[in-house]
Amino acid sequence: MQAPPGMPPKMSIPGVRYLIAVASGKGGVGKSTVAANLALALKMHGQKVGLMDADIYGPSVPTMMGLGMVDQSVTPFPVEKYGLKLMSMGFLVDPQQAVIWRGPKVAQAVAAFLGQLNWGPLDYLIIDLPPGTGDAQLTLTQQAPLTGAVVVTTPQEISLIDARKGLKMFNEVRVPVIGVIENMSFFMGDDGKRYDIFQTGGGKKLAEEGGVPLLAELPIDPRVAECGDGGEPIVSKYPDSPVAAAYLKLAMRVMEESHKSAAQAGLPEVQL
């Protein structure tokens, strides 16, 4: 994508076709979970996929993927697991230890993860962003050639307020939002009934306001959290579950919208 006037030119990431940021305004809405399971669902559709954890202060990828610190002299970055290429600050720093860095260093780390690793060839590089609109987000939105962003929200108004800020940030830096994902939308009981635990329709409302598609309404399932904590995301561990089916549908939508977004931005076709 062309950098808008007054903005620095974007870095190039050789061999990566589509770069998708998974964002939210509010913390804890399930961004990391969505990023990991979306990456796996894209892979199940035959895509080559990487997952970059841009949450420097609170990396989630190592726990979700059953990994700890990595000795890069033995295993070069990005690390491979479940068929994905992975990078996270949690491979470099003990998760028990807090990363106490000022903003510019966070920005440097994010830029290095993106620009200095051998990611390609990849169809999709999914980036798990920290919550809010801080240094990591700024570096990425200004410097990375993002194909688009997906904004994750939960159905409640309190989450929507922050998600709107996320949408606004991407609009300001002219990164297309390819859609909204509503997570923890409903619970499907053993009786086959749908229970709306929180309010309903928040994701739809946000998508309508932003003039972007609602890409998915993902159910609540305790196994999602168990699998995340257990080191193998639900799409990989229970590929036949209703949650995995919802992620496979979401991945199809993300593929469609990525193609559209790249075509609209006039991005050159990347040769893998």
Residues making contact with ligand ATP (CB under 6 A):
24, 27-33, 55, 58, 60, 130-131, 183-184, 218, 220-221, 224-225, 228
Q: DSSP letter at 249?
A: H
Least spacing, CB of residue 95 vs ligand ATP, in Å? 13
Nearest to ligand ATP of 54, 144 (CB atom):
54
Distance CA(97)–CA(261), nearest Å, equals 39
Alpha helix locations (H) across the chain? Answer: 31-44, 61-64, 103-115, 135-143, 157-172, 202-210, 222-230, 234-237, 242-265
Least spacing, CB of residue 234 vs ligand ATP, in Å? 9
**Residue 60 makes contact with Mg ion by CB under 5 A:** yes
- What one-character-per-residue DSSP string does 151-201 give? EEE-SSHHHHHHHHHHHHHHHHTTPPEEEEEE-S--EE-TTS-EE--S-S-
Of ligand ATP, Mg ion, none, which one does residue 224 interact with (CB within 5 to 8 Å by kind)?
ligand ATP
Would you say 228 and 64 are in contact if contact means Cβ atoms under 8 Å apart?
Answer: yes
Of ligand ATP, Mg ion, none, which one does residue 27 interact with (CB within 5 to 8 Å by kind)?
ligand ATP
Nearest to ligand ATP of 17, 60 (CB atom):
60
The residue among 73, 105, 107 whose CA lies nearest residue 91 is 73
Nearest to Mg ion of 1, 35 (CB atom):
35
**Angle 151-153-154 (CA atoms, 0-180°, nearest 5)?**
165
Of ligand ATP, Mg ion, none, which one does residue 225 interact with (CB within 5 to 8 Å by kind)?
ligand ATP
Nearest to ligand ATP of 1, 86 (CB atom):
86
Least spacing, CB of residue 111 vs ligand ATP, in Å? 20
